[in-house]
Amino acid sequence: MMKLADKVAIVTGAASGIGREIARVFASEGAKVVAADINYDGVLALSKEIESGAVAVKADVSKKDDVIRMVKEAIDRYGRVDILVNNAGIQTVRRFLDLKEDEWRKVIDVNLTGAFLCSQMVAREMVDRAVEGSIVNISSIHGYIPRIMKIHYDASKSGLIMLTKETALELAPYHIRVNCIAPGIIDTPMNQEVLAIPEKKKSMIERVPLKRIGEAMDVANAALFLVSQESSYITGAVIPVDGGLSLHP
């Protein structure tokens, strides 16, 4: 039996990487997928690859009007939303002393404010329709492990962890669960540049206790668990998918 039969799932940042794999896995388990991304060609291509099809929506999650349109598309097409995965995210590399305000705001707006807007609008629809839904936020182990040159990205991912915990508390009375995945080093387009350097990739693998770079499927499988009935008593959790990387002091 399919784990997500007839469930309606919105996945943001679905054009590539982790979001794309989550959309594919959900669809393979019977979900009706609404794939959203600012890269419309990417989600359109994804919708054609998925055997059961998917609704492709162009959306910048940092813009409220785009989020409203995205959620409306899902409701108009399927009449409800059961699942939301807040995966859309961007990152840049900049030292703190050189970081400009507009670059800070852009990363925060997409990674954190976007998740807030999507969660609020989808949760309102869930409450109105008495849907016992599930929301999953894709954060990072760097939401709680500091490093240099990515303060804006890491601050946004840290905020996403607290957004998870507080929305889990507020939405629990409506039987809406909210959980978070904190990936470590994952082989995605966002990390392609650094992973293409053999010595850097080797160094990264040496730091991971399980001695491999993660795949998008590793995160997608965790997301599937968190939105399925198998996790029906889990909410407010932050699950690292990092091969043990965050165990290092």
d(CA 138, CA 216): 12
Residue 178's φ and ψ, nearest 5 degrees, are -130, 125
**Rounded Cα gap, residues 246 and 240, in angstroms:** 8
Q: Which of 40, 144, 153, 174 is catalytic?
A: 153
User: Which is it for strands 8-12 and 83-86: parallel, antiparallel or unpaired?
Assistant: parallel
Strand partners, 239: 181
Instruction: Mark whether 144 is an active-site residue.
Output: no
Of 181, 88, 169, which Cα lies nearest the Cα of 137? 181
User: What is the distance of C-alpha 9 from the center of its chain?
Assistant: 12
Angle at 215 between CA 90 and CA 177, to 5 degrees: 70
Catalytic residues: 153
